């Protein structure tokens, strides 16, 4: 019988979209099998649902929720994980940096789409 592939806790937390430091200690201190990861994704326990709902969220999730890039967060000086309430406060405030970074994201996506169409046309 093959041994189950084990993921490091950090890798499992990333795949679940949560901060490792915010997970329960028993999750942080052991490997997670692929089957266990699939089960957590399919039937998340309360702690995982709560983390996904309220945070603190990793940078990638903060960036996604704000509609900016991770680099944009860094340019704005946001380097720490944020909670859902903190993200809502930024969205409510609509600071100038957020508007600028969102405009940059739109330009990047448009350029990526243009390049994709160009490659498709050549193929």
On whether the CB atoms of residues 67 and 75 are closer than 8 A, the answer is no
Per-residue pLDDT of the chain (123 residues; tens, 9 = 90+): 556 788 888 998 999 999 999 999 988 888 888 889 899 999 999 999 999 999 899 999 999 999 999 999 999 999 999 999 999 999 999 999 999 999 998 898 889 889 888 888 887
Indicate whether this model's pTM tops 0.85.
no
* Sequence spans of domains, the chain: 1-54, 56-123
| CB contact at 8 A, 20 and 9 | yes
Alpha helices (runs of H) in the chain, residue ranges in sequence order: 9-16, 25-28, 34-42, 46-54, 59-66, 70-75, 84-93, 96-122
């Amino acid at each position: 019988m093959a041994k189950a592939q084990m993921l490091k806790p950090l890798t499992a937390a990333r795949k679940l979209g949560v901060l490792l430091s915010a997970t329960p200690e028993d999750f942080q201190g052991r490997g997670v099998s692929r089957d266990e990861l699939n089960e957590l994704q399919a039937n998340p326990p309360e702690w995982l649902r709560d983390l996904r709902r309220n945070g603190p969220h990793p940078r990638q999730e903060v960036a996604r929720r704000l509609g900016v890039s991770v680099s944009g967060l860094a340019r704005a000086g946001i380097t720490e994980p944020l909670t859902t309430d903190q993200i809502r406060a930024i969205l409510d405030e609509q600071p100038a940096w957020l508007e600028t970074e969102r405009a940059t994201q739109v330009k990047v996506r448009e350029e990526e789409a243009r390049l994709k169409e160009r490659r498709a046309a050549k193929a």
